[in-house]
Amino acid sequence: MAPNTRQLQLTSTAASAVHGDLEDVRLLDSYEKNDVDDGTKRVQVRISGMTCAACSNSVEAALKSVDGVIGASVALLQNKADVVFNRSLVKDEDIKNAIEDAGFEAEILPEPGSLGNGTTLVVGQFTIGGMTCAACVNSVEGILRNLSGVKRAVVALATSLGEVEYDPNVISKDDIVSAIEDAGFDASFVQSSGQDKIVLGVVGVCGLVDAQVLEGMLSGMKGVRQFRFDPLLSELDLVFDPQVISSRSLVDAIQLGGNGEFKVHVRNPYARMASKDVSETSTMFRLFISSLFLSIPLFFMGVVCPHIPLIYSLLLWRCGPFLMGDWLKWALVSLIQFVIGKRFYIAAGRALRNGSTNMDVLVALGTTASYVYSVCALLYGALTGFWSPIYFETSAMLITFVLLGKYLECLAKGKTSDAIKKLVELAPATALLVVKDKGGRSIEEREIDSLLIQPGDTLKVLPGTKIPADGIVSWGSSYVNESMVTGESIPVLKEVNASVIGGTINLHGVLHIQATKIGSDTVLSQIISLVETAQMSKAPIQKFADYVASIFVPTVVTLSLLTLLCWYIAGALGAYPEEWLPENGNHFVFALMFSISVVVIACPCALGLATPTAVMVATGVGANNGVLIKGGDALERAQMVKYVVFDKTGTLTQARATVTTAKVFTGMDRGEFLTLVASAEASSEHPLAKAILQYARHFHFFDESSPTSDAQNDAKKFMSGWLYDVSDFSALPGRGVQCFIDGKRILVGNRKLLAESGINISTEVENFVVELEESAKTGILVAYDDVLTGVLGVSDPLKREASVVIEGLQKMGVVPIMVTGDNWRTARAVAKEVGIQDVRAEVMPAGKAEVVRSFQKDGSIVAMVGDGINDSPALAAADVGMAIGAGTDIAIEAADYVLMRDNLEDVITAIDLSRRTFSRIRLNYVFAMAYNIVAIPVAAGVLYPSLGIKLPPWVAGACMALSSVTVVCSSLLLRRYRKPRLTTILEIIVN
């Protein structure tokens, strides 16, 4: 019988079965692994069932107990866990099982946007023909193991099969086949262990026949490992081998194979996660409405119906042992308690099985106590004729208010992740692919899903549309609005060879771009990942809340029991008048109501939400202002910053060094002098070297004194048109460069370089260099054939906002410091210009970290602002590292903050936002702590003897539900944050 569409599960494909005999031969499994891979892996897990901080603590403890887990952070708000583990000891399934063993549901999340090269190492199987003996095997193995990117290789003579473990980012399967064939053997690729997953939305599967067609198509498709079709969601989960088939080829094959009946599109991972959040909110709303609908009749029966004689007489009609009204109340509350409120019992049971307690335990205890008492009171009255008051309404109203609170909480939490939603919306849904022939001519344009873009694709971007992927402009010219990513409002001119960022908007002209980064490698995806990771991180201050939450519920239960005993014993001893008792009530009932109120009103959720909600909002606000924050711990440290250490070049200055002076101190021609210096610096990547090269090129080609055409045609002297041939080039960090031209040594650098080389610096040269340095210029000395030949003066202009930002930091109570590898005179001149008092000059790159540590010795919090590779040690050593967004990837990786706009004003924004955030967190803790400190004694009846104030359980439930919402709404006020204006900080009055 044909399978039902609902029964289609992860199925091995026929393509795999064809090579089943090869799959059984696991050569590398028996190969002696001398090189053990002890790398780490990070996964994110979606967790269902967590309700408060106690739940997240339980999950975190369960994860950390797994052998091989290095770190685990659980985010209650996002219902996610971020887990780092040793991939040689732990598998994804182990993580999932640990969470499920703790009583919660878990789902390993795929890497967002990752559609290719998701695996670091893959094992490829190759057939190898032409081998006749062991010598052939050794030869092939030796060739394979020597290939760059190949980690291990083993070849079996009997099966003519080879298995190679390799990095697909370094070497491709075709390169391996070519290497084997170059050795004189035949080779072909069979399959690889590399696999990727993609989720497709399929339109057109209307019944069982369509499902069978789809299954047959996928089963015969080479490279497809597993698949599962969900007919309810019209979603197709595919696991495939990216070495055999690409995601775009998969989509095309499905659409073509269905004769046009199937329409396929890729489901965005972030959109799917967002839909689950929306689903949770809608589920909570449905439960709340259902509970409210059933609670309204209870309210009418107790308040309105007694004033309507006809209806009230019906409620007082005795039906069996109970009144009709009691039957109705019992039936309605039972539905609320055990059908709508079932989730509280399930969650409480999970928590208790795991040895922990949470808010669900409190709700289950309070409602069950009220419900069981009311049922017992009815049965006791039926048996004895003594009718005690019943409190069915308490259970119903409590569950209704708790569900209302959870619904409002879901809405509020949804708003805290608006930054990620906005970033996801930046990614365009489709792209215009330019198809070219073998000659490189455009022959077709077709629209594809942007998630199916592959590296190397040529994409056409029309005016007014979003750029679909990171890439390089290959044709055209236009201005691009990058404000949605960088925060910079001024459009940027993009011409051929300029880089573009996916998600930014092309304003005017048509562009052709060549895609370079896709999926999780794109700037937009990295920003989304960074913001999401930061929102999941825990600030150190949250440890206090986690500890309180872990002991909160047991403490509340104990207080509830003490309240019950105290009031009951006091009543038995006659410590309060009988008039206080409810009608037909007794001392136990009177005491029980206070006890239930204590259980109900105490809520650990507000404590658990105080920090993460504020951190989530702050990271979103920061991203919208061009400041990316890597975690709550960074926020906490930044708000206490005392010192900010600035790198000079590229941070305080524009890193656009220009040569302003060139003076020759020997009889050498000026053009000859500049050619020598440019030839020496041509191999250097230093910004000063590029400035010198540009100056020399401009001199030769635009100055009347440039070398003659005869000189340029002198093959002995000139290379690449006009530069000399250089040999034995070496860069000397902190000093300059050294090389040989025509066998003569040339040195270009500072005094230290010349002094170490034994070259004398005359008084005239020294005075000239001092004069340059005192005017904030760098003097570069040039020696040729061990004779000091000339000096170049180089200026790097300051950023226009540098001096104002420094003054603004000083107004905020932060001490700015400048560190540079430049000489003291130049450093002091620059520092004086921007207003920095403390300068550390002539510091080698590694010494910048030591400067940072020197300010940390007294326990002060130190921030470092830098942009280059040489700043990364200092950024890592600082308590708060701030990388300029235009800087290097290494610097950005080492930093805690990324300033996307390359604007120093964002240093002030980062510190000010951190201060505002932690001011809000402290206020949240005041709300949460004060609420429980005040509310619990009131619920326990402390004020009842003197003021007659008591909180019925249903009122306590309303207060409990709204407490966490108060904290979340307090955090949401951070969304109104506006970065400080420098005119306000500096107290400048603008007329």
Give pLDDT tens digits for 67-102. 889 888 887 766 788 888 888 888 888 888 888 888
Q: Read off the pLDDT of residues 117-171 as tens digits, 9 standing for 90 and up.
A: 344 677 787 878 767 566 677 778 888 888 888 888 887 665 567 888 888 878 8
- Where residue 312 falls (left for φ over 0; alpha for ψ -120 to 50; beta otherwise) is alpha
- Calculate the average pLDDT of the chain: 77
Distance, in Å, from the CA atom of 448 to the CA atom of 430, rounded to the nearest integer, reads: 6
Q: For 558-576, what is each residue's pLDDT tens digit?
A: 888 888 888 888 888 888 7
Map 965-988 to HEC letters: HHHHHHHHHHHHCCCCCHHHHCCC
Band of residue 114 on the pLDDT scale cut at 50, 70, 90: very low
With 0.85 as the threshold, say if the pTM is over it: no
Q: What is the pLDDT of residue 908?
A: 92
| Distance from C-alpha of 275 to C-alpha of 298, rounded to nearest angstrom | 35
Please tell me the distance from the alpha carbon of residue 354 to that of residue 61, in angstroms, as a whole number.
10
At residue 69, the 3 state secondary structure works out as strand
Which one-letter DSSP state was computed for residue 649? I
- pLDDT of 681 reads 87
Indicate the burial class of 126 (C-beta count within 10 angstroms; 0-12, 13-18, 19 or more).
Answer: buried
Do 78 and 609 meet the contact criterion of CB atoms below 8 Å apart?
A: no
Q: In which region does residue 403 sit, left (phi positive, over 0), alpha (psi from -120 to 50) or beta (all else)? A: alpha
The catalytically annotated residue of 82, 210, 647, 871 is 647
- In the beta sheet, which residues pair with residue 628? 898
User: Could you tell me the CA-to-CA distances from 467 to 494, 499, 522 in Å, in that order?
Assistant: 12, 11, 12
Tell me: pLDDT of 790 over 90: yes
Q: For the chain, percent helix, then strand, then coil, each to nearest 5? A: 50, 20, 30
Give the pair of three-digit tokens for residue 548: 């309180």
Cα 870 from Cα 848, distance rounded (Å): 8
What SS3 string covers 774-805?
HCCCEEEEEEECCEEEEEEEEECCECCCHHHH
- The torsion angles phi and psi of 148, rounded to 5 degrees, stand at -65, 130
User: What pLDDT, on a 0 to 100 scale, did the predictor assign at position 781?
Assistant: 93
Beta strand spans in 99-234 (E): 105-108, 122-129, 150-156, 161-166, 186-192, 196-203, 224-230
5-14, 137-146, 968-977 — which is least confidently predicted?
Answer: 5-14
Q: Is 277 a catalytic residue?
A: no
Task: Report the amino acid identity of residue 208.
Answer: L
pLDDT at 554 over 70: yes
- Do residues 960 and 401 lie in contact, with contact meaning Cβ atoms separated by under 8 Å? yes
Instruction: Please tell me which residue, 39 or 100, carries the higher pLDDT value.
Output: 100
Structure confidence at residue 36 (pLDDT): 38
| pLDDT-wise least confident of 363-372, 533-542, 599-608, 853-862 | 533-542
Residues 6+ apart with CB under 8 A from 328: 297, 301, 315
Query: Distance between CA atoms of 296 and 156, rounded to whole angstroms?
Result: 77
- Sign of CA pseudo-dihedral 479, 481, 485, 490: positive
**What whole-number distance in Å separates Cα of residue 705 and Cα of residue 702?**
9
- CB-count burial class (<10 Å; 0-12, 13-18, 19+) for 378: buried
What average pLDDT does this structure show over 423-444? 76
Which of the 8 DSSP states describes residue 723? B
What's the CA gap between 964 and 744, in Å, rounded?
77
- What pLDDT, on the 0 to 100 scale, is given for residue 991? 40
**Distance between CA atoms of 862 and 850, rounded to whole angstroms?**
12
Q: Counting every residue, how long is the chain?
A: 991
Residue 736 near residue 750, CB atoms below 8 Å: yes
Phi, psi of 203 (to 5 degrees): -105, 130
Q: What local confidence, expressed as pLDDT, does residue 32 receive?
A: 38
Query: What Å distances lie between residue 341 and 338, 398, 606, 956, CA to CA?
Result: 5, 10, 21, 18
